[in-house]
A and B are shown apart, each in its own frame.
Chain A
């Protein structure tokens, strides 16, 4: 495969991870399942960053630097989201997000 075809392959993989994450966020009723969807979305974005850092010398540092920033953000997001899920579970004794409707007007 040529370089352009390989780059397309990496970008398609990133798109697949992104779509899997979005569908996961949409259909999972378990709050932790939704968190897994967010992780998949961030991974899809990261694959794109690193692929461009490999195939475009102008971005060879930038792609990897942004990927590292995204990983740090994902770790922070996972910590906060799990704390919120734990609080929700303590207060409602369920992790079904469909039952979180107190703010409904």
Chain B
């Protein structure tokens, strides 16, 4: 087993086991801690896949931002009985059974499908990673991205090549969306003032 595969197995099992621990731990504070490990492991997966910018964003936004929000929520609400709300055994059985069946369906469909794995020399290089400049150009739409690729498993009458495109409009939409959401969150979570009659 070469080091690359060994690293994948280690990071993937770390991430998967932490995700399972999030589900099975009854204490909400422990769930939050396991979620931290799982999200950090996912960032490691992105680094292994050569997506450095996405991995760094995952660390900054998820581990640095979302998880701090979640932990603040836990701290503000975890009082007395709410730290560990027990799930009944019947619920555990049903949820576990449905989850296992769901996992079986997904795994079998993944393993039986033949995914198109392209043999691009660049992709073979473990040290290759897409620079953030290319990602920024894709967001601004000022340069060809990815190039016209050969898309497999399309209907046969569809054109086999996909034109390069940029993502300026979705980028603008998502930034305005984020602004609106943050204003809305500040409005929803504002401190309540008691209504007092003037006079």
Q: What are the residues of chain A within 8 A of B138 when measuring CB–CB?
A: 61, 65
Q: What are the residues of chain A within 8 A of B130 when measuring CB–CB?
A: 53, 60-61, 64
The CA-CA distance from A22 to B70 in the complex, in Å, is 18
The CA-CA distance from A94 to B96 in the complex, in Å, is 26
Known: A12-B107, A54-B51. A83 touches B76 (CB 8 A): no
Beta-carbon nearest neighbor of B180 in chain A: A76
Q: What are the residues of chain A within 8 A of B49 when measuring CB–CB?
A: 10, 50-51, 53-54
Encode contact with B along A1-35: 1 for CB under 8 Å, 0 otherwise. 10110111111110111111111101111101101
**Residue picked from B1, B32, B51, B118, most chain A C-beta under 10 Å:** B51
Known: A24-B22, A89-B77. A36 touches B135 (CB 8 A): no
Known: A18-B106, A50-B46. A39 touches B39 (CB 8 A): yes
**Chain A interface size range:** 35 or more
B20 within 8 A of A: yes
Encode contact with A along B89-133: 1 for CB under 8 Å, 0 otherwise. 001100110110011001100110001111110111000001000
Known: A57-B122, A61-B146. A23 touches B42 (CB 8 A): no
The CA-CA distance from A55 to B35 in the complex, in Å, is 27
Contact (Cβ within 8 A) B110 A73 = no
Contact (Cβ within 8 A) B174 A73 = yes
Contact (Cβ within 8 A) B116 A20 = no
Contact (Cβ within 8 A) B46 A19 = no
Tell which of B16, B99, B188 touches A22, judged by Cβ atoms closer than 8 Å.
B99
Contact (Cβ within 8 A) B146 A62 = yes
Contact (Cβ within 8 A) B181 A80 = yes
Encode contact with A along B174-189: 1 for CB under 8 Å, 0 otherwise. 1001100110111011
A100 within 8 A of B: no
Contact (Cβ within 8 A) A87 B103 = no
Contact (Cβ within 8 A) B77 A7 = no
Contact (Cβ within 8 A) A47 B42 = yes
Contact (Cβ within 8 A) A4 B151 = no
Contact (Cβ within 8 A) B22 A7 = no
The smallest beta-carbon distance between A32 and chain B, in angstroms, is 5
Shortest Cβ-Cβ A-B pairs, 7 listed: A58-B149, A83-B188, A83-B189, A76-B181, A15-B106, A23-B99, A29-B85
24 CB contacts below 8 A, A to B, read A7-B115, A10-B45, A13-B16, A20-B99, A21-B19, A22-B102, A39-B35, A40-B19, A43-B42, A50-B45, A50-B54, A53-B51, A57-B146, A60-B146, A61-B130, A65-B138, A68-B57, A68-B135, A72-B178, A83-B185, A83-B186, A85-B73, A85-B77, A95-B77
